[in-house]
C-alpha cells in the first residue's frame, strides 16, 4: 500500500501537472471504485483543481465550489500520468487493471489496481465537514513532539506493529515503513507499547522521524524530475521489509517474517528480538512444540526438512 512517503511523492508530481487545471472529464470503468452518489460524480467535471492535500494515505483534490475528490489507493492502487498528444486519443482505460482516468488539458491521470480485489475507493464530497468524516483521525507524525508521540503510542497497550500502522493513531504509516522503523529502532514488532522504557520510546520516536523523512525526501526528489510510475512497497534499499532470508545489513543474520492475511512483518531476530524467532501464526499451529525459538533451532529444522525430503 502506498504510504506517507509514496503519497507525498504523488502530490509533489501532481502539483505542477493538475493544480490550476480544469478536470475536463472523469472516466470510470469500474463501478466498485465510486463510493458516493451525492453530489453526483460528474458535478466535478469542468471544475478547476485549486490545491491538493493528503489525509493519511488518501489523496484529496480540492476543487471550486467547496468540492473535494478523495482517492484512497488501498493496497494495489497506483497512479500513472499520460501526457496529452493532440494527434492521439485520450489514454484508454480498457482492461481489468484500469479503473479510471482523470482528463486534464495537458494529460490524463490514470488509476490502476492490480489483482482481482477492488479495494481502491473514490469519494466526492462537499464541504470541510464532509471531508473530515473520511479522516480516520491519525496524527501527522512528522509534526509531533516526542511527548505527543509517546502519548499517542501508549494510549492503548498494543504491539508496536499494530500501533504504528493504526490509521486512528498515526497517519500514513503502513506495513513497509513500520518494518523499517522498528528495525532502525532495534525493537520487536510484538513489543507492547506500555512496556517500553523511556530510552526505547526515544529510540522509536527518533527512528520513526528519521525513516519517514529519509524516504519522503528521496521520493520527493525523484518526483520533481519525473512522475512516480513504479511505486512499490519493496525497495532494494530497504533493510528489513521484503528481505526475508536475506542478511541484515547491521548484523548479517537472516531477516525473518511473520505472515498473516495479505501482509507480512519482517524483522531481524538478532537486532530486534534478542535472538528469538517470533512464531508465525499458521506455522506455529502446525509445528506446535517443535516451533524453533532461535536462529540455530530454525537452521537445524531447515536442515532436517531438507534431509527428510532427500531421503
Q: Does 125 share its domain with 180?
A: no
Contact by Cβ (8 Å): 109, 10 = no
Examine the fold and report which residue of 84, 105, 132 is the final residue of a domain before the chain moves on. 132
Q: Where are the alpha helices (DSSP H) in the chain?
A: 4-18, 128-132, 146-153, 160-165, 175-185, 198-223, 269-272, 281-287, 295-310
Is the residue at 309 inside a domain?
no
Is the residue at 213 inside a domain?
yes
Confidence band, pLDDT 50/70/90 cuts, at residue 58: very high
Is the residue at 290 inside a domain?
no
Q: Does 55 share its domain with 161?
A: no
Is the residue at 262 inside a domain?
yes
Is the residue at 50 inside a domain?
yes
How many whole angstroms separate alpha carbon 97 and alpha carbon 224? 26
Q: Does 145 share its domain with 265?
A: yes
Q: Does 108 share its domain with 75?
A: yes
Q: What is the pLDDT of residue 95?
A: 77
Q: Does 147 share its domain with 267?
A: yes
Q: What is the pLDDT of residue 41?
A: 95
Examine the fold and report which residue of 98, 115, 132 is the final residue of a domain before the chain moves on. 132
C-alpha cell at 149: 508521540
Q: Does 81 share its domain with 210?
A: no
Is the residue at 297 inside a domain?
no
Calculate what percentage of the chain has a pLDDT beyond 70: 89
Q: Does 117 share its domain with 26?
A: yes
Closest to 249 in 3D by CA, of 262, 259, 260, 240: 240
How many domains are contained in the chain?
A: 2
Instruction: Decide: helix, strand or coil at residue 205.
Output: helix
Q: Does 149 share its domain with 121?
A: no
- Over the stretch 262-289, which tens digit does the pLDDT of each residue have? 678 999 999 999 999 887 655 444 444 4
Is the residue at 307 inside a domain?
no
Instruction: Decide: helix, strand or coil at residue 92.
Output: coil
C-alpha cell at 168: 486512528
- Over the stretch 243-259, which tens digit does the pLDDT of each residue have? 999 999 999 999 999 88
- Over the stretch 293-307, which tens digit does the pLDDT of each residue have? 666 665 665 555 555
Q: In this structure, how many other beta carbons lie within 10 angstroms of the beta carbon of residue 129? A: 8
Q: Does 90 share its domain with 121?
A: yes
- The pTM score is 0.89
Give the CATH number for residue 22. 3.20.190.10
Give the range of the structural domain holding residue 167, as residue numbers without chain letter.
141-278
Examine the fold and report which residue of 111, 132, 153 is the final residue of a domain before the chain moves on. 132
Give the CATH number for residue 159. 1.10.8.50
Q: Does 127 share its domain with 186?
A: no
Q: Does 124 share its domain with 157?
A: no
Q: Does 161 share its domain with 197?
A: yes
Q: Which residue has the higher pLDDT, 117 or 39?
A: 39
Residue with cell 452518489: 37
Termini Cα distance of the chain: 42
Is the residue at 285 inside a domain?
no
How many whole angstroms separate alpha carbon 112 and alpha carbon 83? 16
Amino acid at each position: 500500500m502506498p504510504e506517507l512517503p509514496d503519497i507525498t511523492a504523488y502530490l509533489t508530481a501532481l502539483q505542477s501537472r493538475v493544480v490550476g487545471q480544469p478536470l475536463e472529464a472523469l472516466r470510470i470503468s469500474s463501478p466498485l471504485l465510486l463510493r458516493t452518489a451525492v453530489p453526483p460524480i460528474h458535478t466535478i467535471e469542468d471544475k478547476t483543481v485549486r490545491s491538493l492535500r493528503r489525509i493519511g494515505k488518501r489523496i484529496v483534490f480540492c476543487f471550486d465550489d467547496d468540492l473535494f475528490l478523495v482517492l484512497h489507493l488501498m493496497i494495489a492502487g497506483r497512479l500513472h500520468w499520460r501526457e496529452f498528444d493532440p494527434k492521439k486519443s485520450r489514454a484508454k482505460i480498457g482492461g481489468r487493471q484500469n479503473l479510471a482516468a482523470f482528463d486534464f488539458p495537458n494529460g490524463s491521470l490514470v488509476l490502476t489496481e492490480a489483482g482481482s480485489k477492488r479495494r481502491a475507493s473514490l469519494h466526492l464530497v462537499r464541504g470541510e465537514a464532509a471531508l473530515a468524516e473520511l479522516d480516520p483521525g491519525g496524527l501527522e507524525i512528522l509534526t509531533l513532539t516526542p511527548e505527543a508521540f509517546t502519548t499517542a503510542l501508549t494510549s492503548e497497550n498494543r504491539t508496536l506493529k499494530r500501533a504504528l500502522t493504526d490509521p486512528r493513531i498515526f497517519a500514513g504509516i503502513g506495513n513497509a515503513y513500520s518494518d523499517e522503523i522498528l528495525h532502525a529502532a532495534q525493537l520487536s514488532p510484538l513489543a507492547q507499547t506500555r512496556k517500553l522504557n523511556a530510552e526505547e520510546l526515544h529510540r522509536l520516536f527518533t527512528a520513526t522521524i528519521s525513516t519517514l523523512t529519509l524516504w519522503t525526501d528521496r521520493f520527493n526528489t525523484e518526483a520533481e524530475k519525473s512522475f512516480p510510475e513504479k511505486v512499490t512497497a519493496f525497495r532494494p534499499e530497504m533493510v528489513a521489509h521484503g528481505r526475508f532470508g536475506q542478511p541484515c545489513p547491521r548484523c548479517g543474520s537472516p531477516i525473518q517474517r511473520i505472515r498473516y492475511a495479505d501482509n507480512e512483518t519482517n524483522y531481524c531476530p538478532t537486532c530486534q528480538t534478542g535472538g528469538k524467532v517470533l512464531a508465525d501464526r499458521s506455522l506455529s499451529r502446525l509445528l506446535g512444540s517443535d516451533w524453533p525459538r532461535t536462529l540455530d533451532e530454525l537452521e537445524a529444522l531447515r536442515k532436517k526438512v531438507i534431509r527428510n525430503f532427500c531421503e
